[in-house]
Amino acid sequence: MRSGVRWLILIALSMASIVVLGGVLLVWTAPGRDVLAGWIADFTNAKISGSMKIGKLESIGFLRPVATDIEFFTPDGKRVLRVDKAAVHWNLEQLLRGKIGFHKARTDGGEIIIAIEDGGRTNLQDAFKTECEDKIPLELDSIHFENMTVVLQMSGETRFIVRDVQGFLSVWRQDTPGVRVDLGRVRGIFEKPEMTGGKIELLRMEGQVWAQEQHVAALKLRTRIGNGSVDADFDYFDREENPAQLKLRPDTGSGSRIAATAIESWFSDKLDVTIEN
């Protein structure tokens, strides 16, 4: 009797091993990675109001997947984010503790389109809004992004385009539905608007963005325009009246003051812009 039980256990373990081995071998093949990429997209789409697509899951590795052509869309199909290539190093300890986390990640190439409509609502809110009660903690630390393009649209009109954007961000959520995004060492070159004295360079941007909070964003920027510079504070609030505020602090050069005045004229119809001495 005991011998029969042992044989049943051995057969069960063998079958389980075959299933596990088959699954491992499957994800190491191109069709298997396609299936896994589809599962990841379906899982994400069930959590957000918009949708996500993964063009290709190039490799799996051990907790180090590499994916290309990752896209996020609003519910009406407008793309808000494209990442050409992303590599992630997952944190096994955090995963075992029920958290979504990784040690580091790197993205190369892509575009993010931020569209602000009348009333202050953004397309990012439409794409990433979640109604679920799932409050899985997030610790997505040290995401290094480079070669990105950032486009800002207001009421359908493109107000600025920044290319060759690079920097770092982290995403955090502990016990609330919303998330916090920390931005650091962000830099790039403004393609639009253009200045007669040369390109506007974003030398540095730091700050935070909060989801599901009234104070949505608080950013500090340093720009260089020709031989002068203009520092700026940008704050965005989830409200209909004066949702966006921009404070400009030009340096003592006359060119910087002219540049600050030009920036005020570009955005004063949509933002609450002030120039400080």
Domain spans, the chain? 47-275
**Average pLDDT of every residue of the chain:** 77
Predicted confidence band at 18 (pLDDT cuts at 50, 70, 90)?
very low
d(CA 219, CA 41): 31
Predicted confidence band at 2 (pLDDT cuts at 50, 70, 90)?
very low
Q: What percent of the chain has pLDDT over 70?
A: 74
Contact 141, 256 (CB under 8 A): no
Instruction: For 268, list phi and psi in degrees, rounded to 5.
Output: -65, -20
pTM (predicted TM-score): 0.77
114 or 21: which carries more pLDDT confidence?
114
DSSP characters for 154-187?
A: ETTEEEEEEEEEEEEEEEEESSSSS-EEEEEEEE
Scanning the structure block, which residue is given the tokens 């040290």?
Answer: 142
What is the per-residue pLDDT across 132-171, written as a single tens digit (0 to 9) for each? 555 556 677 778 999 999 988 877 677 788 999 999 988 7
Beta partners for residue 195, in sequence order = 198
Taking alpha carbons only, the member of 175, 152, 129, 176 closest to residue 236 is 152
Task: Provide the 10 A C-beta neighbour count for residue 133.
Answer: 6
d(CA 219, CA 203): 13
d(CA 271, CA 243): 8
What is the per-residue pLDDT across 83-142, written as a single tens digit (0 to 9) for each? 999 888 877 776 666 666 677 889 999 998 888 776 667 777 777 776 555 555 667 777
pLDDT number for residue 98: 61
pLDDT number for residue 233: 94
